[in-house]
Structure 1
Amino acid sequence: MWKYGIYSGADMHFYYSVGIRGEAYSSTPQNQGIAYGVLGYAGNASGGYNYGVMGTLAGSQNGAGIVGTTNGTTYVTVPGIYAGYFKGNVEVIGTLYNNGVAITSDINLKKNIVNMDEKKSLESVLKLNPIEYNLK
């Protein structure tokens, strides 16, 4: 059974349809305060089922359950179907888990980083066996 604090719907016969819009914005920079366009707060339901903010993409058209942008951009074309799509820099403090390609070329994952001897570097490059491939 669903219980709503606020429920709102928007008919999809218009170019832009928004169920609920939250805005906290000043046209000039401020030196005080904190602004939340939307703030979600949840907890103490069944383990694993607590979401501060939840977004779901339905239907068969391209889009994303959660979209994040920077620099005031409010119009983004999402080129596929994603749970999350971000236009701008994304920073993760902590561990980023994925179930696909692991990106491990990060200085934070390495130690004893030193410059190689130039002669040794060239010899190493010449021993490489370059290949070509296509992703599946």
Structure 2
Amino acid sequence: MLSSLLLTCVARCTSPISYLQLRFWRDYVHEESSLMDSYTTKHAKQLAERNVKSFFYKTPPEEIITPSNKDWEKISSLYTFSTNDNYYSTLHRVMEDCQEADNGMIRLTSVKSNDSGGRAPAVLSFVDDGSV
């Protein structure tokens, strides 16, 4: 247990990522996850209500825009940290890399770090542990 504590301390002390940046990153991941849960619950409820109303009232269903399977697959992949493209999550990477949306609007990159370096620091292990 002592060696584990020592390794954690050394990894954090030698990390190029500051404590505040790491804290921001964890907060971002938590907020994104909470918002995603909230939005998916709300959207699923709207879709279910639309289908039930359409069934009982025998009316054509109103249009509700839902992301395609391809879009869901893009944001569902495991996010791995890269010092070349510092995004905070898979969703962040997909949205920032999206140059031209389906509606024809051009999206420019906004909050991407310009830092470049070697491999991912050990202190960022929380990114790949499945909690993202």
Bigger radius of gyration: 1
Higher relative contact order (CA 8 A, sep 6+): 2
TM-score normalised per structure 1: 0.21
Higher strand share: 1
TM-score normalised per structure 2: 0.21
Higher helix share: 2
